[in-house]
Structure 1
């Protein structure tokens, strides 16, 4: 294939810095000089990538950056073109992609104008949506990110996909481990957590839960014993039951899994693997320090113990300690994450990174459980990672999580609460004489749903005198405030509206 380089990109290889930014700047310069005129079509991304000898992802990011600056637009069947600065964008013309149309955004821009699409993305919050869509019980029992600009980014990405020939490919069967581009995007995403990931070692899964299932299916056999934190993600019990595995608890402290307890357990019995959540542990919100991670890695190396790291919340944590897998021997590290808990739960896209010799086994396990991850949703996730949309979505989630976290900490200021920055839930000590079962039942009678604490327990023992409160599911902060007020009224019998003011 021979593609000539557009004249406005002459000498681009000599420009210092990231290539995508250099391309975006050249587009800006060409628009300013008149070399590129409104309505002029830019080269297809694959053709330009070929001409510049770079990846399609680089061109995607360049075009996204130019679009962020208000320089580009797109239409189904037309491709990418230079935007007329006086014309509304496709997103602008319908407020926010139809369903997300919001009078609040229109009013903020003035009666006779519409906000630019990227400005809308920067400013949008869930409270701008229609409150009447929420009704029924207030669910504070599930962990997933608050609604954010993924709604807008999805509309943008699906518009792009509609005019891309790759759409037909995404509606067909793909390799069980995922296609190369999607695995490369997963490696990029995993690399942000300090893990030296390669596309060849990545398997695309249908979310992290499916990734854990496939990994344990590949590295264990029915009857094996696996270790897990004494309080842990309830799904691990369901997975162990499905695979015929025995679960044994490992004691926790303020940093999570205790190395000596794990070492003692491995000396006492044969442990096939350990499942752990080192960052924003579920439900306690503990975060392992780097020294603790190194100690766990030493125990694993000493016993040849495979470590299944569920880093489902790692990308949200403001504590930037590298993932535990970054300290483990390569042949013992099985790292699992997803974009479901960080970008959009409905996409159901996860990534598993493990030793090369086990990649095919994990892919085979995925084939058994789900055949393959959806190529369509994996493509959306890949484009978000490549274009920088993932970063915009994360930033919108950070802002909303922090606003809600502040509400919870203020409301429960007289209680013992574990709720670090980036956490999707709070772990709250229950005051006497309350018992957790009573609180869950009473809260439900008041229209507030909490998870039973014993659902997090691995093995027997006394149920902790604490409860988990997930504060992101309510679409609007006003609904969260209602739930907090109801709980506080139960706990101390007073009206505490002022403790959870909407920010």
Structure 2
């Protein structure tokens, strides 16, 4: 039985793309042009492109057209890959570390080895952490404007685990979660795994469009809002006190759960009051030490209203039972003796230096980011294809990410996101210059 005409056209175009006859970045005819050229209906031409997009061979961008994708690139353009090849400079992931941290770890391990009750660290721990360690974390958070008790504070295996147990405990499959149109990819992965529907909040120059959020809540049954009010990833904004009050007002009016992700909040000095302090009855606050201390130190914290603590503890039990005791003891020792505070100050200075370097290299381009941030968002000119840029730089041993992993809306911005916190400063400078040269090459 012969194939339908549109299927034949899909197969022909797919073969041309896979063979390289239509190279990555090629702008395909408009829907109307394809319909006229192939003598098919406009709706059929639209169906052809929809099937090619579902196959991952093309990407349609409103107002720009339909383009051939680079099928040699990994899914998510590298953002989901746990490791890179030898010699690759990583501008995908932030792994901020200071030179003196290895020596600090040796000293801390010696102190831990000489401490009293080592046997206790070999046993199961309470699911939310031992009471004295929860109290240490609560004191640390109080110094950052969040007054919570140890009973409200739970220890988890990093901020991502904190987000996971929060969602496991308080959300259900099918719940609608409002989040920024560009957001942390790890939350997107979590939402997909738990079958949560993400509803994008449009972005403005200074934060989410909160009027649009209020409007969304009148049309959809929104259960929660996932927010990064203090140093947003990837856009770097810090919501003002007025914006935070407006968000809390919307949450109270529509009975929303607020999930506050503060993973990068330590980089913003003198930030406004956390959402969890403004709306303690409905906010879960999640943070950790991966960025402020080290990514290998998988210790994070969750604070929640007391009525929700037991449910989150059950989720910790179901996922990891408890945070590893040795890691927790090490982290709490550093919290208690001021080491974390000193590291945070040093990393703010480091991030500020790296951000300034990036701004100098990309002078004249529309950079978006916080002056003390470990990442930079770069919108691209009309003629620069993000996927071509990624492929070109990958061939030069530099890994970057497009906007796709961060986007929760159907329309993906034409941009790249650069992580500044992993490479040594001299290597970072060279890699950023390569990115600038690649952008300039693709522009002219």
Counterparts of 1:269-418 in structure 2, within 5 Å, are 269-328=220-279, 330-418=280-368
Q: CA offset at residue 168 of structure 1?
A: 2.0
CA displacement 1:172-209 (0-9 Å, x = unmatched):
21011111122112212222331221100011011011
2:39 corresponds to:
none
Q: Is the 8 A contact 2:97 2:294 kept in 1?
A: no
Aligned to 1:163: 114
1:213-232 alignment runs, 5 A limit: 213-232=164-183
Paired residue secondary structure (2:418):
strand
Distance 1:319 1:433, change over 3 A: farther
Higher mean alpha-carbon deviation, 193-202 vs 392-401, is at 392-401
RMSD: 1.6
Matches for 1:125-136 after TM superposition, within 5 Å: 136=87
Distance 1:148 1:422, change over 3 A: farther
Equivalent position SS for 2:225: strand
Counterpart among 396, 407, 410 of residue 446 in structure 1: 396
For residue 473 of structure 1, the aligned residue among 391, 416, 422 is 422
CA distance in 2, matches of 1:484, 1:195: 37
Preserved contact between residue 121 and residue 325 of structure 2 (Cα < 8 Å): yes
- By how many angstroms is 1:232 displaced? 0.3
Q: Could you say what secondary structure the match of 2:222 adopts?
A: coil
8 Å CA contact retained: 1:190, 1:337: no
Residue 212 of structure 1, CA deviation? 0.5
How many matched pairs?
358
* Distance apart, 1:137 and its partner CA: 0.6
3-state SS, counterpart of residue 272 of structure 1: strand
User: Is contact 1:148–1:397 with CA below 8 Å preserved after alignment?
Assistant: no
Aligned counterpart, 1:106: none
Match of 1:486 among 423, 426, 434: 434
Whether contact under 8 Å (2:354, 2:374) holds in the other structure is: no
TM-score (norm 2): 0.78
1:146 to 97, 109, 114: 97
Q: CA separation in 1, counterparts of 2:375 and 2:308?
A: 34
Once the two structures are TM-superposed, the CA of residue 434 in structure 1 deviates from its matched residue by 0.3
- Structure 2 distance, partners of 1:460, 1:192, is 40
**Alpha-carbon distance in 1 for matches of 2:100, 2:347:** 8
2:376 is aligned to 426
Unaligned runs of 5+ in 1: 1-133, 495-503
What are the residue-to-residue correspondences of 1:225-244 with 2, within 5 Å?
225-244=176-195
Q: Does the residue aligned with 1:248 lie in a helix, a strand or coil?
A: strand
- Counterpart CA distance in 2 for 1:316 and 1:290 is 17
CA distance in structure 2 between the partners assigned to 1:201 and 1:147 by the alignment: 32
| Alignment match of 2:139 (pick from 166, 188, 194) | 188
Q: 1:201 to 1:239 in 2, by over 3 A?
A: same
Contact 1:144 1:424 in 2 (8 A): no
Q: Deviations over 1:443-500 (max 9, x none)?
A: 1111110123111011312x212211111111x2111122112112211249xxxxxx
SS in 1 for 2:350: helix
TM-score by length of 1: 0.69
The structure-2 alpha-carbon separation of the partners of 1:145 and 1:192, relative to structure 1 and needing over 3 Å to count, comes to: farther
Work out the CA distance in 1 between the residues paired with 2:345 and 2:182.
30
Runs in 1 of length 4+ with deviation above 4 angstroms? none
CA contact under 8 A between 2:108 and 2:330: conserved in structure 1? yes
After superposition, residues 72-83 of structure 1 pair within 5 angstroms as none
